Amino acid sequence: MAITSANQLELLQTAEAVAREKQIDPILVVEAMEESLARAAKSRYGSEMDIRVHIDRKTGKATFTRVRTVVAEDEIENYQAEFTVEQASEYMDAPEIGQEFIEEVPPVEMGRIAAQSAKQVILQKVREAERDKQYEDFKDRAGTIINAQVKREEYGNVIVDVGTGEAILRRNEKIGRESYRPNDRIRCYIKEVRREQRGPQIFLSRTDPQFMAELFKMEVPEIYENIIEIKSVARDPGSRAKIAVISYDGSIDPVGACVGMRGSRVQAVVNELQGEKIDIIPWNEDMPTFLVNALQPAEVSKVVFDEDAERIEVVVPEEQLSLAIGRRGQNVRLASQLTGLDIDILTEEEESKRRQAEFELRTGLFIEALDLDEFFAQLLVSEGFTTLEEVAYVEVEELLVIDGVDADTASELQARARDVIEAKNAKAMENARALGVEDSLVAFEGLTPQMIEALANDGVKTLEDFATCADWELAGGWTVVDGERSKDDGSLEPFEVTLEDAQNMIMTARVMLGWVDPEELVSEADEVEATEEQEA
């Protein structure tokens, strides 16, 4: 086809029709046409030439031009698109490097192959424009619910029509064994929107915990109006779920509002989630109280909360054990997800046996280390003493409250404890020196000989080694892999060093080595404090 013989307005009319059908900017379609015509012209004039095409936005006239750029003589790489200052002087007055010489060339006759190529370029550009528009339309809708129509199912994944394109509901994001037929209406949670070169770029979910939260927001006006807040959600999709709610209006019961009259509100959510049973739990700032609520319907006898380890022990009567754990551990697993804590469930008998074992272990420590009789050692443990350090460095008055302990006995106890600790420290330092620990680490304030020995056993022998450690390598921590939390042991964890302690020690070592400017630390701390005050 020849551009000159075609109705020039037809190009603009085609561009407008395509843009209207695809709901994209007509300018993008015209630019795609310009690129396709330029590609066709290059196949006629030579691929090395810089051929450009401009379509007049009013008349539709296509102008073909050849562009050559002025470059230094030793920088010429493409003789068809570049020329020197001397060569350019034949066509230009006082040419300078970087200038472009533009000359019009005759339009080309488009053969069948060139026309097909041009068509492919236009289609590709239109698809890219469609995808960009879809991304812009949906990028701010992640985290919301969408109603869509099923188009087809591919290998268990459901492809749905979202109006301006397609979205995908992966097989692992479906509830149980859900199956859909073409044209079925489906309600999904927009989990993620990201740019992709090919295929859908909107990823949906029906198993995400936030899907249930958004459904409650649609069914419960108080949640939509922020009178009631959903604090956390845990789901075993298609089977059971727990949702924690709190009311900021004392006259409104958050659980009752979510249940609705005769259960109408919660039932609407249950029906959408294929019969998933939902426990609605009142949220509480006091974590042990919240956990007791989260383990419903099981009854809890006692809760022991370890804030540093983010672990919690729950003691239940023997007959409540299976109910607290749930079928295949479902109840305790959901309660753990809801609270964000690791939960250990013990029966009253198991807890009693464990406490007795701990009591005997500590009693044995005092008998052996302090050369005490069993009765006296048991007295110490009963009063809450657990380590030799507590006995050695506690205020004397705390020992005097024990029956049968006078000032002389207390002094003798503390002297024995200190002698044992000093002997252990000397042995630990000897072992550390044998492992190659350097003076720079020994002199670091805050590290005991036993801590230094533990570090040396893990290969930390200099202040430089210590400064390169991560906080969790010292204090221990938790890693989540495939949804399961696993424990990372820290070198100084047995000495009850917290993550905050570890961070401070590591930063102090870096300052001592000159790796960090202390003034910068102060300014960063001030910035963080200012940000927190603004947020408050």
Report the CATH number of the 352-432 domain.
1.10.150.20
> Is the Cβ–Cβ distance between 151 and 113 less than 8 Å?
no
Predicted pLDDT of residue 6: 43
Topology classification of domain 5-132: N Utilization Substance Protein A; Chain:P; domain 4 (3.30.1480)
Predicted pLDDT of residue 3: 42
Question: Two tokens at 166?
Answer: 């397609």
> Is the Cβ–Cβ distance between 279 and 241 less than 8 Å?
yes
Is 342 exposed, middle or buried, given 0-12, 13-18 or 19+ CB atoms closer than 10 A?
Answer: middle
Which sequence spans correspond to the domains of the chain? 5-132, 140-205, 352-432, 438-531
> Is the Cβ–Cβ distance between 248 and 275 less than 8 Å?
no
Handedness of CA 380, 382, 383, 385 (dihedral sign): positive
Predicted pLDDT of residue 453: 93
DSSP for 367-395 reads: HHHHT--HHHHHHHHHTT--SHHHHHHS-
Predicted pLDDT of residue 522: 62
Predicted pLDDT of residue 303: 81
- Tokens 């296509």 locate to 62
- Render each residue's pLDDT in the chain as its tens digit; 536 residues: 344 434 455 656 666 766 676 666 777 777 777 777 777 777 777 778 888 888 777 777 778 888 888 888 778 887 777 888 778 787 887 788 888 888 877 776 655 555 566 566 667 777 777 777 777 777 788 888 888 889 888 888 888 888 777 888 888 888 877 788 888 898 899 988 887 766 667 899 999 999 999 999 999 999 999 999 999 999 998 889 999 999 998 889 999 999 989 889 999 999 988 888 999 999 988 888 888 888 888 888 888 776 665 668 888 888 888 888 888 888 888 888 888 888 888 888 888 888 888 888 888 888 888 888 888 888 888 888 888 888 888 888 888 887 777 888 888 888 888 888 898 889 999 999 999 999 999 999 889 999 999 999 999 999 999 999 988 889 887 776 666 667 788 888 888 888 888 888 999 999 888 888 877 766 655 565 555 555 54
Rounded Cα–Cα distance for residues 166 and 222 (Å): 33
Report the CATH number of the 140-205 domain.
2.40.50.140
